[in-house]
Structures are given as C-alpha cells and as structure tokens.
C-alpha cells in the first residue's frame, strides 16, 4: 500500500504533489474520490482524471485552480 504525504490541504481536497495524487471530499465531509495529476514541464500539476462521481464538483475544480493546479475545461460540468 502506498503511503501518501498530502502536502497541499484545501477545504475540500488534498494533494500529495510529489506522488501527483490527491483526494476530494463531498460538502458534508463524506468520501468523494481520487484525483490523479501529471507533472508539467513548468513544474505545475495538471489534473488528468478523477473518480467518485460522474462530474467533478465545481467547487473542487475551482479550489484546485485557485491553489495553482491546472484543471482543464474538460472537468467543468456540461451545463456550467
């Protein structure tokens, strides 16, 4: 089993930047799902995939963006 060190902790998610992995939680604090990132050449992390829901909650995507992670428009809900 991999042990993660979540060095970036936000209100709805946390990321282990070295492992390029994180998790997100639902508004009520219950389990949401995983977040998988890729290291970009400029040193930033770009979200590649997630699980735990059909669509990544907008508040999670926006929180990641505000913290400096790259979250492409593909992760925005269809009706947003």
Residue 44 located in a structural domain: yes
pLDDT of residue 79: 57
**Domain of residue 52, residue span:** 8-72
Residue 65 located in a structural domain: yes
Contacts of 44 (CB under 8 A, 6+ apart): 68, 69, 70
Residue 78 located in a structural domain: no
pLDDT of residue 76: 85
pLDDT along the chain (80 residues), means of 10: 91 96 91 95 96 91 97 80
Distance CA 33, CA 26 (A): 9
Pairing of strands 13-16, 8-9: antiparallel
Number of domains in the chain: 1
Residue 51 located in a structural domain: yes
Residue 2 located in a structural domain: no
Number of Cβ atoms within 10 Å of the Cβ of 22:
26
What does 24-52 look like in DSSP terms, one character per residue? EE-TTS-EEEEEEEEE-TTS-EEEEEE-S
Q: Is-above-0.85 flag for pTM?
A: yes
């Amino acid at each position: 089993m991999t042990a993660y060190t979540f060095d970036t902790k936000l209100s709805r998610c946390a990321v282990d930047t070295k492992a390029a992995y994180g998790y997100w939680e639902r508004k009520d604090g219950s389990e949401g799902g995983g977040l998988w990132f890729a290291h970009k050449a400029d040193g930033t992390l770009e979200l590649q995939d997630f699980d735990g829901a059909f669509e990544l909650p907008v508040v999670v995507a926006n929180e990641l963006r505000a913290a400096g992670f790259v979250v492409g428009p593909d992760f925005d809900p269809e009706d947003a």
